[in-house]
Amino acid sequence: MWRHILSANSQPTLFTKLGFDPAYLSTFEDKLFIEGPQTARRLTTFFALLLFATVIATYGVLSDSPPTVIGAMLVAPLMGPIMATTAAVVMNSLPRALRALALTLTGIGFVILFAYLLAWVVPDVTISFTSNGEIASRIHPGLYALLTALGAGAAGAFILSRAEIADALGGVAIAISLVPPLCVVGIALRQGQLEAARGASLLFLTNFLAILFAGGMVFLILGVGTTVVSQEQGRFRRRAFLLIVVGVVLVTVPLSLTAYQKVVSARENANATAVVEQWVAGTSYRVETVTLNDGSVDVTVDGTGPMKPLQQLADQLAAALGHPVVVDLRTLPTQRVTSDTP
């Protein structure tokens, strides 16, 4: 349908000349939209790849293995229906948008449920939401996650719109995390860690909305959306993008709060470290670690000999941080030996 409408436009826009090639439209549609006589086969392939990606990502996350998780990102096909959704919106095709969105939502539920079941066979004592970097990095998303996802979504749409590089999505798949955070949601639900599940869900939602927004804008700029055929369809596109923008704004709020809290925490930790270093100055001790945690300051120093009063350190830290603190000091004795041989 769309290729006939496009051929009827004898005067392509400047963006069409510089960006999207109208001759590529048929191939573009075939790549993005699962429809036609091969629908059943393509859906089977989609869910098979999603199953494999979920297995790889779940156990890659649980084993804290970044290379394994990256492999899962390359296998996962979830970006396809998300890109198809925003492309259908740009092309003013409500039926296509609804089908692609339904496939996306089905895939999301599939990954979470399957990851939940896969985590069932893993001993609870081997699952850590603090020391496991692959889990911890996905349950506290910040504003950088949104900015990264916007860049990846724009890059993905640009790659898909070019025939000569349309198969080069591997880098984008690695840059934007879709299946791994959903696997973390399933793992967290299995462990009863609702806060961790919420954080991982927020990360996925951020990536999902960023692909819709940035990808759709790139498709528009490149001329994919020059085939508006009615005022009603034009309203559909405007309303859909309005919903996407509202969604992006809404996820920006908690992401910004998390980013602000991280900045405040980093600043307080730097101030506390400076105070501790000043406190040990003039002694044989050196600072190993300084960690702030809910009103307490854990300090580890290394050395031997006399030490300044601990109460002095607590008072100085309270003055620097602006609130009372409890100081837990751990001393690691240093041993120094000089050889007898020349």
Instruction: Specify the range with the lowest mean pLDDT, choosing from 174-178, 198-202, 311-315.
Output: 174-178
What is the identity of the amino acid at 314? A
Distances (CA, A) of 106 to 18, 51, 109, 111: 36, 12, 5, 9
Would you say 176 and 82 are in contact if contact means Cβ atoms under 8 Å apart? no
Rounded CA gap, 278 and 30, in Å? 66
For the record, the structure tokens of 233 come out as: 């369809």
- The correct CATH number of 266-332 out of 3.30.70, 3.40.1580, 1.10.10, 3.40.50 is 3.30.70
Note the pLDDT of residue 15. 44
Residue 205: the pLDDT is: 96
Angstrom distances, CA of residue 216 to CA of 83, 223, 225, 245, 324: 8, 11, 9, 11, 50
Task: For residues 293-298, give the mean pLDDT.
Answer: 86
**Using CA atoms, how far apart are residues 316 and 272, in angstroms rounded to an integer?**
9
pLDDT at res. 97: 93
What is the reported pTM? 0.82
Give the pLDDT score at 92: 86
Cβ-based neighbour number of residue 98 at 10 Å: 12
Judge whether residue 177 has pLDDT over 90: no
Q: Are strands 326-332 and 296-302 parallel, antiparallel or unpaired?
A: parallel
Name the strand (E) or helix (H) holding 176.
none
Structure tokens at 296: 């307490």
Predicted local distance difference test score (pLDDT) of residue 20: 76
The residues of the chain that CATH labels 3.30.70 are 266-332
Nearest to 237 by CA among 123, 341, 114, 90: 90
